[in-house]
Amino acid sequence: MTPHSLIAGERDVQKRLDHFLQEQLPEYSRSRLQSWVKDGHVAVDGVPAKVSTLLRGGQRVDVQPANLTPLKAMPEDLPVEVLYEDAAVLAINKPAGMIVHAGAGNHDGTLVNRLVHRFQEDLSHVGGDLRPGIVHRLDKDTSGVILVARTDAAHQSLAAQFSGRTVSKTYLALVRGKVRDETGRVTKPISRDPVRRTRMTCGVATGREALTEYRVLQRFEKFTYLEVRIGTGRTHQIRVHLQSLGHPVAGDVVYGSAKQPDAPRMFLHAWRIEFDSPAADERVLVEAPLPRDLADWLTGL
């Protein structure tokens, strides 16, 4: 791989090294760039640096790319709740706090690790050895139903359904404040936040189209309980769209209040999903009940 020699400009002052590299070398994944830094393949003014190094401007950043050992999901004998199963598709009830597949700094306890142990080779390989069976994702702190493909043909069928927007996805969300209208629709484009790269935003002119619809299920003094349907599957879509209305999801420390969380955890649950199963040859509706911790907290309101 070709070495890179970069210069940090005035706009890069106080910018983290990994954020700078991600902007300058978009052809590489964030996890790969971070791995190079941690393995000593990135130097700032000739000195090996850390991922969190803050740039001063005018510095030379040298990157010596290195091939990474291909990642593979490792089986772990941990519980996994199956809500629906046929020859082509699994529907799993993912608890909050569980990562779907391994990423930068997260390799253990993932949903994929559990699936590989329980179903072994009975998962699609379209997504590679790191993401067998995974067609779509849920955020780490979002609970609820997620589909897993058991065969390559099923993976391609589900991917086409997601792309064609024929998969129906319904969430339950508790948001801060009093939502004015009984029903509503948000169509603001979503893009990555140019300043805080771990966040998404709909506050810039450009972005990918996104559609979120909601209806009020119940009102409380300081919160509103919503049923939310999404027509697209952008990263953090529901959280970003609801926050843009002035009603962040309760307990969301990224898009809500980081100092004083107002719920035991983020109150966002993937409740229902409806799709066409290649094996069942019919429309399938799967529902994941609201988890006990959220149900109890809701009752307490």
* Structure-token pair, residue 236: 């953090």
Fold assignment, 4-63: 3.10.290
Assess contact for 166 and 152: CB atoms under 8 A. no
**pLDDT at site 271:** 98
pLDDT in tens, the chain (301 residues): 678 999 999 889 999 999 999 888 877 777 788 889 988 999 999 999 998 999 998 999 999 988 655 567 888 999 999 999 999 999 999 999 999 987 655 667 899 999 999 998 899 988 887 889 999 999 999 999 999 999 999 999 999 999 999 999 999 999 999 999 999 999 999 998 888 878 899 988 778 999 999 999 999 999 999 999 999 999 999 999 999 999 999 999 999 866 666 788 999 999 999 999 999 888 999 999 999 999 999 999 9
171-268 has the same fold as 4-63: no
Q: Alpha-carbon Rg of the chain, whole angstroms?
A: 21
**pLDDT at site 259:** 64
**pLDDT at site 230:** 97
Write down the domain spans for the chain: 4-63, 171-268
* Bridge partners, 6 (sequence order): 61
What's the CA angle centered on 79, arms 146 and 107, to 5 degrees? Answer: 75
| Catalytic site positions | 139
**pLDDT at site 260:** 62
Fold assignment, 171-268: Pseudouridine synthase (3.30.2350)
CA distances from 43 to 33, 39, 61, 64, 65 (A): 12, 11, 6, 9, 12
What's the CA angle centered on 88, arms 140 and 86, to 5 degrees? Answer: 90
